[in-house]
Amino acid sequence: MKVGFIGLGIMGKPMAKNVLKHGYEVICFDFNQANIDEVVTAGAQAGASGKEVAEKAEVVITMLPNSPNVEAALFSENGISAGLSAGQTVIDMSSIAPQASQKFAKQLKKQAVEFLDAPVSGGEPKAIDGTIAVMVGGKQTVFDKYEELLKTMASSVMLVGDVGAGNITKLANQMIVAINIAAISEAYSLAKKANVSPEAVYQAIRSGLAGSTVMEQKSAKIFAGNWDPGFRIELHIKDLQNVLDTSHAVNVATPFSSLAMDVMQALKAHGHEQEDHAAIARFYEQINNISLQES
């Protein structure tokens, strides 16, 4: 099967490499030539545009920052839709607004092209080792056709509903992750101010009910003051904006997500938007005049 892959950033690049490792042919495109070169070195073929990728592939995967980027990749001049034929499929693995996914599916349906929204969770480390979680919205028959392809990149692949349901699930994930990072940062701040080692608290509670994947992945970064991005604050702000927009559209209250957004906006105002979202801990360090780094 020939797979088109458009968007070779922090997540897309290792994901495309994992598709290659499982024996699929990959035709790739990105605006960053160095990223294209790296994936080509791993065995892919380079496409000159989204249109060319779509013309050569059976299925096209997109992995892009936000809804406007996906829309441009799909429908701009020389975009993906210009090269699509009836019977092909687009799998958008970007984390975007659910309403945008539904809009794109309707537009592509006019070309008799199928669409799945299939955002991912796990960050760069899991993208590299092929253990991300993929939550999919779309038709069961289309999901069944491409489930094995998606499993080349993931340890968990699940159809959760119709188009848009994948991104609703991803928004729920991002709400929980942001609030969880804030909660552990707040708890470690309490410990530090009370002269108890935050790392000792972590070791004591990590196996109990408070333990989580977020705690496991982010505590070490917090204690080291390592803010190198696996998932940038600016991208989490984008996701939380989609959360708030969607929550307003369906009339649901999301107070903790709103507070998490305020914390991240404060960090952005201080120039930390390119850092890992573990840097939510910086907010607590600043307002409490402490350092959570272990000496």
Mean pLDDT of the chain: 97
Task: Identify any residues that bridge with 89 across adjacent strands, giving them in sequence order.
Answer: 59, 114
Tell me whether residue 110 is one of the annotated catalytic residues: no
Buried b (16+ CB within 10 A) or exposed e, 52-91: bbbbbbbbbbbbbbbbebbbebbeeeebbbbbbeeebbbb
In a domain, 295, yes or no: no
pLDDT for res 115: 98
Range of the domain at 179: 168-288
Same domain, 64 and 38: yes
Candidates 51, 170, 221, 238; catalytic one: 170
Name the percent of the chain lying above pLDDT 70: 100
CA distance 236 to 121: 12
Are residues 114 and 228 both part of a single domain?
Answer: no
Are 133 and 185 part of one and the same domain? no
In a domain, residue 236? The reply is yes
The answer on pLDDT for 122 being more than 90 is no
Do 94 and 9 lie in one domain? The reply is yes
Whether 62 and 125 share a structural domain: yes
The domain boundary, picked from 162, 182, 211, lies at 162
Amino acid symbol at 273 = E
Q: Are residues 121 and 217 in the same domain?
A: no
User: Quick check: 295 pLDDT over 90?
Assistant: no
Which residue, 162, 187, 218, sits at the end of a domain?
Answer: 162
For 196-244, how does the pLDDT look when each residue is reduced to its tens digit (9 = 90+)? 999 999 999 999 999 999 999 999 999 999 999 888 999 999 999 999 9
Do 158 and 172 fall within a single domain? Answer: no
pLDDT exceeds cutoff 80 at 263 = yes
- In the chain, the amino acid numbered 112 is A
Same-domain pairing of 89 and 199:
no
Which residues, including other chains, have CB under 8 Å from residue 33's CB and lie 6 or more apart? none
Kindly calculate the radius of gyration of the chain based on its CA atoms and give it in whole angstroms: 20
> pTM for this structure?
0.90
